[in-house]
């Protein structure tokens, strides 16, 4: 078992983790759950949910975790998945802009 690092996260068995991750991201519900798990402490889920989904943190958490709500499993819709992806793209665009501003700034 090879220990490794995955985007700053120490992983005990990196090969097994990558296999598990590859299997998980084949499905939207698992991809979102895994990505927010990996981004824990980097992206505030409550603020992401409010800013990009116009929903509460509890609404978002119910769907990420697949909790039962009124007897049914809470799920994201296809539109929700598109909003999440758009939110990630907007964050990436902003981060790239900030990095460019730092690069261009004088000492």
Mean per-residue pLDDT, 50-65: 95
If asked whether residues 96 and 69 sit together in one domain, one would say yes
pLDDT of residue 91: 97
Give the residue carrying structure tokens 């730092």. Answer: 102
Q: How far apart are CA 14 and CA 92, in angstroms?
A: 25
pLDDT of residue 1: 65
Range of the domain at 11: 1-42
If asked whether residues 103 and 53 sit together in one domain, one would say yes
If asked whether residues 105 and 69 sit together in one domain, one would say yes
3-class secondary-structure state, position 6: strand
pLDDT of residue 5: 77
Mean per-residue pLDDT, 16-27: 90
**How many structural domains compose the chain?**
2
* Average confidence score pLDDT of the chain: 92
If asked whether residues 3 and 48 sit together in one domain, one would say no
If asked whether residues 1 and 18 sit together in one domain, one would say yes
If asked whether residues 48 and 17 sit together in one domain, one would say no
Tokens in use for 67?
Answer: 């909790």
From the number of C-beta atoms within 10 Å of its C-beta (0-12, 13-18, 19+), residue 77 rates as: exposed
């Amino acid at each position: 078992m090879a220990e490794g690092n995955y985007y700053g996260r120490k992983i005990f068995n990196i090969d097994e983790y990558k296999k598990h991750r590859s299997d998980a991201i084949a499905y939207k519900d698992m991809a979102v759950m895994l990505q927010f798990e990996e981004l824990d402490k980097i992206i505030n889920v409550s603020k992401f949910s409010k800013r990009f989904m116009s929903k509460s943190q509890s609404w978002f958490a119910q769907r990420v975790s697949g909790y039962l709500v009124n007897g049914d499993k809470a799920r994201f819709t296809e539109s929700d998945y598109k909003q999440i992806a758009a939110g990630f793209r907007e964050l990436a665009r902003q981060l790239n802009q900030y990095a460019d501003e730092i690069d261009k700034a004088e000492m």
